[in-house]
Amino acid sequence: MRRKKETGSGSAAAEKCSVFQKRRMQIVKKATRLFAKKGYAQTSMREISKATGIDLSNLYYFIESKEEILFRVFEMIHRPESSVFENQAIMGLEDPAEQLRAVIREMMRFSILYKDEVLLLYRESKQLPKKLLKEILARESGFIRHIESILRKGLEKKAFAMEDPAFTAGLIAYELSLYPLRSWNLKHYSQADLIRRVERHIMGAVLAT
């Protein structure tokens, strides 16, 4: 799944490139919908073609294979996820408890908004070939390490108490996917309630005393 030519730079090329990428984005977005609704294997390229309005053969002008679409779907999900840790309003917070709370709220909002996509990630990631799967898991690991560093800061300041911050970070990351994986059981909660309850549960498990 080598990247396409990724046509040079320069203003003219830049424009063309963006058209190319826009098309690809369009494909990936529509595919996300379809994959979420019917599953990856159950979605045919013909359906993606029909949904995007791009002729089946031309689809292959923008992507190399169905597999590449799945990979790009996952890539797209992870992009905003990691943006949380570039948010200065959050990363600048001094108090680790406040910071953790902010991350939880932000990520819960995200996971509720992109519930289908996150579910897809859990459901279909096995379809990726090993190499690409590793790339996806590496991103998730990065996210977990960020949480871990917050936990460690809290431990130093005696604000938090826990045996194994690496493990707890992983568990917290997992808890933040509650809604996508369990929405059938959470339909009657408002988003605010949901976020507050998860936040409380996690903070209860983490705060000292």
Q: Which stretch binds DNA (CB under 7 A): 47-55, 71-79, 137-145, 190-198?
A: 47-55
Taking CB under 7 A as the criterion, the residue among 28, 31, 54, 73 binding DNA is 54
Nearest Cα to Cα of residue 108 among 194, 181, 201, 185? 194
Contact at 8 Å (CB) between 56 and 49?
A: yes
Bridge-partner residues for 160, per DSSP?
Answer: 207
Helix axis angle for 165-175 and 130-156, nearest 10°, is 120
Query: Is residue 19 a contact point for DNA (CB under 7 A)?
Result: yes
Nearer to DNA, 60 or 189 (CB): 60
Could you tell me how far CA 150 lies from the centroid of its own chain?
Answer: 20
- As measured in angstroms, the least distance from the Cβ of 74 to DNA is 16
Query: Is residue 6 a contact point for DNA (CB under 7 A)?
Result: no
Q: Which stretch binds DNA (CB under 7 A): 25-33, 64-72, 134-142, 154-162?
A: 64-72
Retrieve residue 156's tokens: 């130093």
Residues at the contact surface with DNA, assessed by CB under 7 A: 7, 16, 19-20, 23, 43-47, 54-58, 60-61, 65-67
